[in-house]
Amino acid sequence: MKKVPLQILRIDNSGYHLMVSLKLNGLKANALIDTGASRTILDKHRVMHYLDHPTMKKYEKFFSGLGTGPIEAFQTVIDRVEVGGLELRDREVVVIDLKSINDSYALFDLPKIDLVLGCDLLLKMNAVIDCPNRRLIVNI
């Protein structure tokens, strides 16, 4: 069991988001925790930073976000995802454009999102979100 610090980001006066630092293929990444996201998502503008020679294929399943209509999505594999020193190997993720979210974050002077940590990996990590103590507990 590892305890990883959580950042609680205040979004204007309307609410909060949870962010955790992790590593993708050994490189630091900011991950927004989204328990409502069924799949983990990598920002398409950050793929080349984290993956040397990514194999990208069209994501054939219907994929939608908070906006209206379908989103152009791809899938790829991240060799190593490290959270609190614990490691997951060969994890398939969805790749979409997170520019509009990152533009919104910039308005509030918040860090960019590289990855949306979805329920697929949260379940794989046996993760527990401990808000009062500001930590993510992982049991990979």
pLDDT tens digits for 67-125? 556 678 999 999 999 999 899 999 999 999 999 999 989 998 999 999 999 999 999 99
Q: What's the pLDDT score for residue 23?
A: 98
In degrees, to the nearest 5, what angle opens at C-alpha 114 toward C-alphas 35 and 32?
A: 25
Contact assessment for residue 51 and residue 76, using Cβ atoms and an 8 Å cutoff: yes
Q: What's the pLDDT score for residue 12?
A: 78
21-77 pLDDT per residue, tens: 999 999 999 999 999 999 999 999 999 999 998 889 998 776 555 555 667 899 999
Q: Which residues are CB-neighbours of 120 under 8 A, at least 6 positions away?
A: 38, 39, 40
124-137 pLDDT per residue, tens: 999 999 999 999 99
Distance CA 131, CA 102 (A): 23
Query: Measured in Å, how far apart are the chain's first and last C-alpha atoms?
Result: 7
The pTM for the full model equals 0.91
CA dihedral (102, 106, 112, 118) in degrees, to 10, reads -50
Structure tokens at 90: 């060969």
